[in-house]
């Protein structure tokens, strides 16, 4: 099909203001966050209502035109950008961004799928309600993207991932059917749970247009504390003790190696270290409180002797400002680390009781691959999800870097599998982990996934080349 004809037809559906065809202006949408992928799309369209989306999909299905659904384009796996050159259009959801209804009686909020996560959280905060999913990318990622990736983030420890926080969805399938399941009932066992299949499908089964989310009364206070540990064994022991003591309150537990401070200071994200005496490991904890903070602080101090043995130093922020600085440091970590250049990122999960063995074996063998590699594992220790990242020496050539990166990916994934973990805990598969999926999932699982894909998207027009080649 001629591209001019395509542009004219799409313009008829979305209007002149809602389409970009200029090569230069398309770059922003074609390139992924990490800068690994830059295939060219044919154009980007910005529908501003569900009906437009249905029309675009029906049109593309008829003409066999491939679609890349795109939210905030913060995917770390190349899932939100084209797989091929000049073959796909991008549907960007940023104009489908209305907050439609908050229901305080049933504790739900209905939003359009292009709503930015931070905007939903801010809106609820003003109403004294809370939506717990929180990522360092919250200011740019969109709720549809969060669902399509089953995003996890720093609060999954208490509230689960995205999947646990959705009540209903409206989607458009690959042949333009609208499936709307927006009942507010949390107990609703009526046939297959289609929303669970859409969650984590990375835009390959349907386009999410509306989302009904679970909300919570806003915690009256938060209590953050930052603990320094002399080694990983003590750190995990201490985490277990803190979890036992404050199980119902513990929202986040974020592992930070000392190298994180150095990276943030070097790249101007942090002025100085939070602790005077440096230790190899730290964990930032946050508790949600529905009781009075001063009363809780007394309890915390009384309980402190129960955890003191394993704690080398502790920082309890003395102001909201200091608390914000601590969490900003955690948020900035991904950006600061990206600047380091030749990096390797692994988004893995490991059972907590096996974490120390995993770290020891992985470190020994990665140093054998290249002794100058700096390990930088950090992240959501509370649910075993570690970003097992590393920085390669800057003097390796680009070619060597790519070879080493692949070697490290394979090695880490194999080891994770041996330890009964997951090679992709929260970022998904996208383009970057397709080979690992084929390697580690059984043939039966892959076959069923491919059959599902055929049912939802018979012509394979939705996000082709993501998760697997259909």
Contact with ligand FAD (CB under 6 A): which of 145, 384, 464, 465? 145
- Does 464 bind ligand FAD (CB under 6 A)? Our answer is no
Give helix 3-14 / helix 50-63 axis angle, nearest 10°. Answer: 160
Give min distance, CB of 463 to ligand FAD, in A. 5
- Does 146 bind ligand FAD (CB under 6 A)? Our answer is yes
d(CA 275, CA 253): 18
Contact with ligand FAD (CB under 6 A): which of 30, 39, 115, 136? 136
The residue behind tokens 């400002």 is 321
Q: Interaction with ligand FAD in 285-344: which residues (CB under 6 A)?
A: 334-335
H or E stretch covering 9: helix 3-14
Nearer residue to ligand FAD within complex by CB, 198 or 373: 198
Contact with ligand FAD (CB under 6 A): which of 10, 43, 60, 142? 142
- Does 346 bind ligand FAD (CB under 6 A)? Our answer is no
Using CB atoms within 10 Å of the CB of residue 357, give its burial: 0 to 12 exposed, 13 to 18 middle, 19+ buried: exposed
* 74-113 footprint of ligand FAD as x/- string (CB under 6 A): xxx--xx------------x-------------------x
Nearer residue to ligand FAD within complex by CB, 261 or 296: 261
Q: How many other CB atoms sit within 10 Å of the CB of residue 142?
A: 29
Binding region for ligand FAD (CB under 6 A) out of 137-145, 176-184, 216-224, 416-424: 137-145
* Structure tokens given for 375: 């390990």
Binding region for ligand FAD (CB under 6 A) out of 199-207, 303-311, 314-322, 366-374: 199-207
- Does 69 bind ligand FAD (CB under 6 A)? Our answer is yes
H or E stretch covering 343: strand 343-344
Give residue 63's Cα distance to chain centre: 33
d(CA 430, CA 80): 8
**Of 262, 270, 263, 253, which Cα lies nearest the Cα of 329?**
270
Residue 205's SS3 state is coil
Q: How many other CB atoms sit within 10 Å of the CB of residue 421?
A: 22
Contact with ligand FAD (CB under 6 A): which of 41, 94, 137, 431? 137
Nearer residue to ligand FAD within complex by CB, 25 or 360: 25
**Of 3, 48, 39, 47, which Cα lies nearest the Cα of 21?**
3
Give min distance, CB of 34 to ligand FAD, in A. 8
Nearer residue to ligand FAD within complex by CB, 152 or 307: 152
Nearer residue to ligand FAD within complex by CB, 133 or 259: 133
d(CA 327, CA 408): 30
Binding region for ligand FAD (CB under 6 A) out of 69-77, 103-111, 275-283, 402-410: 69-77
Give min distance, CB of 175 to ligand FAD, in A. 15
Nearer residue to ligand FAD within complex by CB, 83 or 224: 83
Number of alpha helices (DSSP H) and beta strands (DSSP E) in the chain: 15, 19
* 200-239 footprint of ligand FAD as x/- string (CB under 6 A): --xx---xx-------------------------------
* 434-463 footprint of ligand FAD as x/- string (CB under 6 A): -----------------------------x
- Does 427 bind ligand FAD (CB under 6 A)? Our answer is yes
Nearer residue to ligand FAD within complex by CB, 202 or 323: 202
- Does 260 bind ligand FAD (CB under 6 A)? Our answer is no
Nearer residue to ligand FAD within complex by CB, 54 or 466: 466
Give residue 434's Cα distance to chain centre: 17
Residue 330's SS3 state is helix
Binding region for ligand FAD (CB under 6 A) out of 147-155, 186-194, 277-285, 310-318: 147-155
- Does 165 bind ligand FAD (CB under 6 A)? Our answer is no
Give residue 99's Cα distance to chain centre: 22
- Does 132 bind ligand FAD (CB under 6 A)? Our answer is no
Cα 173 to Cα 6, 63, 204, 220, 277, distances in angstroms: 21, 16, 9, 41, 56
Residue 25's SS3 state is helix
- Burial of 51-77, coded b for 16+ CB within 10 Å and e otherwise, reads ebbbbbbebbbeeebbbbbbbbbbbbb
Q: Which residues bind ligand FAD (CB under 6 A)?
A: 33, 68-76, 79-80, 93, 113, 135-137, 141-142, 144-146, 148-149, 151-153, 202-203, 207-208, 334-335, 426-427, 463, 466
């Amino acid at each position: 099909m001629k591209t001019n004809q395509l542009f004219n037809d799409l313009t008829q559906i979305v209007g002149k203001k809602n389409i970009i065809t200029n090569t230069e202006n398309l770059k922003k949408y074609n390139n992924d966050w990490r800068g690994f992928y830059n295939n060219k799309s044919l154009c980007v369209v910005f529908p501003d209502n569900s009906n437009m989306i249905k029309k675009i999909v029906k049109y593309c299905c008829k003409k066999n035109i491939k679609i890349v659904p795109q939210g905030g384009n913060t995917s770390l796996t190349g899932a939100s950008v084209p797989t091929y050159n000049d073959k796909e259009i991008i549907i960007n959801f940023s104009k489908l961004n209305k907050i439609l209804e908050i229901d305080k009686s049933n504790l739900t909020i209905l939003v359009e799928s292009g709503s930015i996560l931070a905007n939903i959280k801010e809106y609820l905060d003003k109403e004294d309600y809370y939506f717990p999913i929180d990522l360092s990318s919250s200011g740019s990622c969109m709720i549809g993207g969060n669902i399509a990736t089953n995003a996890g983030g720093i609060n999954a420890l208490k509230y689960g991932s995205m999947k646990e926080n959705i009540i209903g969805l409206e989607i458009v399938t690959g042949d333009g059917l609208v499936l709307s399941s927006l009942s507010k009932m949390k107990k609703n066992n009526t046939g297959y749970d289609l929303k669970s299949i859409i969650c984590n499908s990375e835009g390959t089964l349907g386009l999410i247009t509306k989302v009904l989310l679970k909300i919570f009364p806003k915690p009256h206070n938060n209590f953050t504390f930052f603990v320094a540990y002399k080694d990983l064994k003590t750190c995990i022991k201490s985490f277990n003790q803190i979890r036992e003591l404050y199980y119902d309150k513990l929202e986040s537990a974020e592992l930070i190696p000392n190298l994180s401070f150095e990276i943030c200071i070097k790249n101007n994200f942090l002025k100085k270290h939070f602790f005077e005496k440096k230790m190899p490991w730290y964990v930032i904890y946050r508790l949600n409180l529905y009781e009075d903070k001063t009363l809780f602080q007394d309890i915390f101090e009384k309980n402190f002797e129960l955890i003191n043995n394993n704690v080398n130093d502790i920082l309890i922020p003395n102001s909201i400002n200091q608390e914000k600085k601590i969490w900003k440091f955690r948020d900035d970590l991904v950006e600061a680390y990206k600047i380091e250049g030749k990096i390797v990122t692994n988004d893995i999960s490991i059972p907590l009781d096996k974490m120390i063995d995993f770290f020891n074996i992985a470190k020994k063998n990665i140093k054998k691959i290249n002794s100058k590699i700096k390990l930088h594992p950090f992240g959501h220790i509370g649910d075993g999800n570690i970003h097992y990242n590393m920085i390669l020496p800057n003097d390796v050539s680009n070619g060597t870097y790519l070879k080493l990166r692949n070697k490290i990916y394979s090695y880490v994934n194999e080891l994770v599998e041996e330890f009964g973990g997951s090679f992709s805990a929260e970022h998904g598969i996208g383009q970057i982990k397709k080979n690992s999926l084929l390697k580690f999932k059984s043939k039966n699982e892959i076959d069923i996934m491919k059959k599902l894909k055929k049912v939802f998207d018979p012509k394979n027009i939705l996000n082709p080349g993501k998760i697997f080649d259909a």
